[in-house]
Amino acid sequence: MASVLPPPTRALVDAHGRSIRYLRISVTDRCDLRCRYCMAEQMTFLPRAAVLALEEIATIAERFIARGVTKIRLSGGEPLVRRDVGDLVRRLGRHVGAGLDELTMTTNGTRLRQHADTLYDAGIRRLNVSFDSRDPDRFRFITRHGDVAQVLDGITAAQEAGLRVKINMVALKGLNEDEIPSMLQWCVDEGLDLSLIETMPLGAIDEDRIDRFVPLTRVFDDLSTRFALNRDDHRSGGPARYWRVGDSDTRLGLISPLTANFCDGCNRVRLTTEGKLYACLGHDDQVDLKAALRTGGVPALDAAIDEGLRIKPARHDFRIEAGAAPAVARHMSVTGG
């Protein structure tokens, strides 16, 4: 695949003065798991004809790099279910150190045994693995059919390939809240990082999210009685706040969209698999980059990106209340994690 970056142009700054340096790309809305907080059990996915071609994803990503984005995260759905994702990783990996500081991926880990070496060879050095329980029965319940052994083997494969792994764990009342301390201890023992995430009201699911919501303020207070947690100034480019766990190499991150709003420093925009640019995870406003690219090439793409920055809101409107409708109708798998 040819790679040509047009000359740099206007910087990516939104209407609130925030510089945009981080692009998250959902390469597919499909997934081989059906996590209860993320998807309904019976999902309707986009027809393949509606999905961006690999060349289009690369062209849009490279335009963002030319305009100042320094970090790209590939996500889904599950990005590794897309057959041509390796080609995309290799193409974007060429820009690491030449405009791009980091290329990363969020995965559920089920296919890492097959893909870990390819990801490392293409320039990825760090992965997030969504993993909410190490208990086989709990994991199967949360994901509706997942095999915990497959994910654990994938994490091992990633480490063997030289990839640094961070575990993303959504805190779920009545499902895995009691497992958080043991998950953190396991991460310390295995040389992994851990980020805890509050459940977000995105898309209709088969249960009321208020029944599963755990405020991370409470979780942190509990962990502080069990571990020596020292504030760490590390920034990964995302919304997490970090603590070092004792004298280990493990960082604990907290992503708290409801109890600790992080919008003031938002540096992110998201590209969906069908080419829509969402400037905020919690709003429905978007611009169609696919249509712009197909009808007007790079000039029209630049204009559409500028419009996306113009409509980026000051903050999200997430709230968790009994019976409340989701903040937006689309599921997380559509926008990308």
**CA-wise closest residue to 32 among 89, 78, 84:** 78
97 a known binding residue? Answer: no
- Domains parsed from the chain with CATH numbers: 22-335 (3.20.20.70)
pLDDT at site 10: 74
SS3 content of the chain, % helix, strand, coil (to 5): 35, 20, 45
d(CA 65, CA 60): 9
pLDDT at site 257: 64
Q: Is the predicted pLDDT of residue 281 greater than 80, yes or no? A: no
Q: ∠ CA 16-18-22 to the nearest 5 degrees?
A: 140
On the 0-12 / 13-18 / 19+ scale of CB atoms within 10 A, 87 is: middle
Contact 285, 298 (CB under 8 A): no
Which amino acid, residue 98?
A
What DSSP character marks residue 178?
G
24 a known binding residue? Answer: yes
187 a known binding residue? Answer: no
Question: Mapping DSSP to helix (H, G, I), strand (E, B) and coil, where does residue 220 land?
Answer: helix
- In what side-by-side order are the strands of the sheet with 126-130? 229-232, 241-245, 251-255, 193-198, 164-171, 126-130, 102-107, 71-75, 22-26, 268-271, 276-278, 286-288
200 a known binding residue? Answer: yes
pLDDT at site 317: 56
Query: What's the pLDDT tens digit per position in 39-64?
Result: 777 787 888 888 999 999 999 999 99
Question: Mapping DSSP to helix (H, G, I), strand (E, B) and coil, where does residue 270 land?
Answer: strand
35 a known binding residue? Answer: yes
268 a known binding residue? Answer: yes
d(CA 193, CA 195): 7
Query: What's the pLDDT tens digit per position in 236-273?
Result: 666 789 999 999 999 999 988 655 555 667 888 999 99
Give the length of the chain: 337
pLDDT at site 263: 65
Contact 69, 100 (CB under 8 A): yes
123 a known binding residue? Answer: no
Give the pLDDT mean for 142-164.
Answer: 97
77 a known binding residue? Answer: yes
**CA-wise closest residue to 257 among 277, 240, 237:** 240
Cβ count near 44 (within 10 Å): 7
pLDDT at site 211: 73
On the 0-12 / 13-18 / 19+ scale of CB atoms within 10 A, 10 is: exposed
Higher per-residue pLDDT: 11 or 318:
11
218 a known binding residue? Answer: no
Higher per-residue pLDDT: 68 or 4:
68
- CA distances (Å), 6 to each of 57, 298, 299, in order? 15, 8, 10
CA atoms within 13 A of residue 25's CA, in its CB half-sphere: 32
Following CA atoms 308, 325, 262, 305 in sequence, which dihedral angle do they give, to the nearest 10 degrees? Answer: -10
Give the pLDDT mean for 300-309.
Answer: 96
pLDDT at site 4: 47
User: pTM (2 decimals)?
Assistant: 0.87
